[in-house]
Structure 1
Amino acid sequence: MTDRPDLAAMISPLSRALIDAELPVLHEHGLSMWAYSVLLALDERPLRTQAALAEAIGADKTRIIGFLDDLQRKGLIERTPDPADRRARVLSLTAEGRRVRDSAQAGIRRKEERLLARLSPEDRRGFLRALRALAALPPEEIAGA
């Protein structure tokens, strides 16, 4: 006996639909989903290594090198030698990278607003509060719960 579907059964179709809605916005900005994830992860703070970036976005560190090369070629990120460890690279956004990220994010948020407008203001606040709380949990805590 169940009073609701499993969380994954509800979230997975929603997640796929949100990604499908984001893709045209990202393509308009010349970004893939992984490239956009990199721009979001770098935000206003540089990351010290490609491995740290890969961990932050949940990617294999060998898979993101091509995305980093492309973002650097486009002038959206910089990879500079780490003064503390010359073998490592510090990754950071350029001004153009911030502009592209902000523009893409604004387009995505406009699409999200159409979806969120279907909720009452109270439900919307509660939904976003709960989603933030659950998204902040470490994966091992979710898996082990």
Structure 2
Amino acid sequence: MTDRPDLAAMIVPLGRALMAAEQPVLAAHGLTMWAYVVLLHLDEGPARGQGVLAQEIGADKTRIIAVLDDLQERGLIERHPDPADRRARLLALTPEGRRLRDAAQAEIQMQEDRLLGKLPAADRRGFLNALTALAGLPRDEIVGD
């Protein structure tokens, strides 16, 4: 037996608290959590269809349709035919979507900076480096699939 809690036992409550802190910021920007996740993900480049996007962000592909429809109606994302596969649609951020995402993210990260400020500078850097490394691992390396 070890003298520390399991990682999930520490991370899940922290993650839930962080998400709760983000909710008012997202609401002020007219975004749901899933809409924000889509805008963040599309900054990495166009996504090949809603099924691929849903899989990449861990969303149910049938539920993400309403989120994508709303974002498109608001001019925050665009859907274009994929030249490599006319059945598929490429999803991409619009300049307005990028602006809104950046504004929401800046406010969220200001809140996070206040939280991170509770740690000594060296611990803060180590925590962020470790979290970045672990978050970058492929899912199957964590789960063991």
Range into which the TM-score falls when normalised by the shorter chain: over 0.9
Letter in 1 for 2:57: I
User: Shift of residue 144 of structure 1?
Assistant: 2.3
Distance across 1 between alignment mates of 2:18 and 2:44: 25
User: Shift of residue 44 of structure 1?
Assistant: 4.8
Distance across 1 between alignment mates of 2:40 and 2:101: 7
User: Shift of residue 2 of structure 1?
Assistant: 2.6
User: Shift of residue 81 of structure 1?
Assistant: 1.1
Report the equivalent of 2:104.
104
Distance across 2 between alignment mates of 1:143 and 1:86: 35
Contact 1:26/1:36 (CA < 8 Å) preserved in 2? yes
Measured at CA, do residues 125 and 86 of structure 1 come closer, stay the same or move farther in structure 2, by a change above 3 Å?
same
TM-score (norm 1): 0.96
Report the equivalent of 1:21.
21
Distance across 1 between alignment mates of 2:139 and 2:42: 21
1:87 corresponds to 2:84: no
1:32 corresponds to 2:27: no
Letter in 1 for 2:138: P
Report the equivalent of 2:65.
65
Letter in 1 for 2:75: G
Distance across 2 between alignment mates of 1:9 and 1:88: 40
Report the equivalent of 1:12.
12
CA displacement, residues 23-59 of structure 1 (integer Å, 9 cap, x when unaligned): 0000011100000000000005111211221111111
Letter in 1 for 2:54: A
Runs of 4+ in 1 over 3 A off after TM superposition: none
CA displacement, residues 61-119 of structure 1 (integer Å, 9 cap, x when unaligned): 11100000000011000001112222110100000000000000001001000100011
Q: 1:78 aligns to what SS in structure 2?
A: strand
Aligned Cα RMSD in Å? 1.2
Structure 2: give runs of 5+ residues left out of the alignment. Answer: none
Which deviates the most, 8-17 or 79-88?
Answer: 79-88
Distance across 2 between alignment mates of 1:79 and 1:144: 35
Letter in 1 for 2:90: V
Structure 1: give runs of 5+ residues left out of the alignment. Answer: none
TM-score (norm 2): 0.96
Count of equivalent residues = 145
Report the equivalent of 2:47.
47
